[in-house]
Structure 1
Amino acid sequence: MIDGGKLGAGVPIGVPLSPSARPATTEVGGKIAILDPQKQTLILADTKNPPEKALTVALPVGDYDGPMSTGDVVVLVDRQSGNVLTYTPDGARKDTKRSSRRAERQGSPVARTTGCTSKTPTAHRLWS
């Protein structure tokens, strides 16, 4: 629980999480965003005590980085598709955009010749 910007006593969120679940470091609209990549879900858990029921949002199949929060939205990056997905604190999808960074990597000479979209193409060549 977060109370006045300080951590308080822990409260159950009411949703089982897999061991690979990752929380955002910043709350969004009074909720903690938790990515559960194993279950392909985004959980928005209330920080009040007693908490409201956590929201569970089903995600498109993907390999996600994040979650990150700006305080207004939750951001997830799908490494497979290169899409950047944003969600509101109530779990509604706000936007989906193609990551320009992935597009740049896919358009690079290394990506075209090796099929590598790694951020470190030299490492890809060494280990391939």
Structure 2
Amino acid sequence: MPGFSVYCATKAALELLTETLADEVPGDRFVVVEPGAFRTGLFGGGAPVLSRELPAYRDTVGPTRRATPHAFVSDVRAEAVRRRLAAGATVAAVAGEVGVDPRQLRRLHRRCVGEPLRGHPG
């Protein structure tokens, strides 16, 4: 799944940060809670897909977006759109989230997948 490596890396970073803090700060206890997998909506397609940059996150997300290869971002966005549609979102809602006209989203789907977008209301 595109983007999953970043998710896993952040979990590992938190574990290592906690272990390092435990060594550096005597007298305090640090605990990492790693419950394992459980069902959430994180990868279920319910999250909105935004192609535009939000001003509030420009300083933190902007450098990451500029450093990430365009093809990777496109793959992640395409997968997110697919999941949103599979979760029952309307074409109009998803098109608004990614900043395109619903007709354009339908054309892009047909061009990429080779068949029309069926079973998804306006």
In which range does the TM-score fall when normalised by the shorter chain? under 0.3
Query: What TM-score does the superposition give when structure 1 sets the normalisation length?
Result: 0.27
Query: What TM-score does the superposition give when structure 2 sets the normalisation length?
Result: 0.27
Larger CA Rg, structure 1 vs 2? 2
Q: Considering Cα pairs closer than 8 Å and 6+ residues apart, tell me whether 1 or 2 has the greater RCO.
A: 2
Q: Which has the higher helix share?
A: 2
Q: Which has the higher strand share?
A: 1
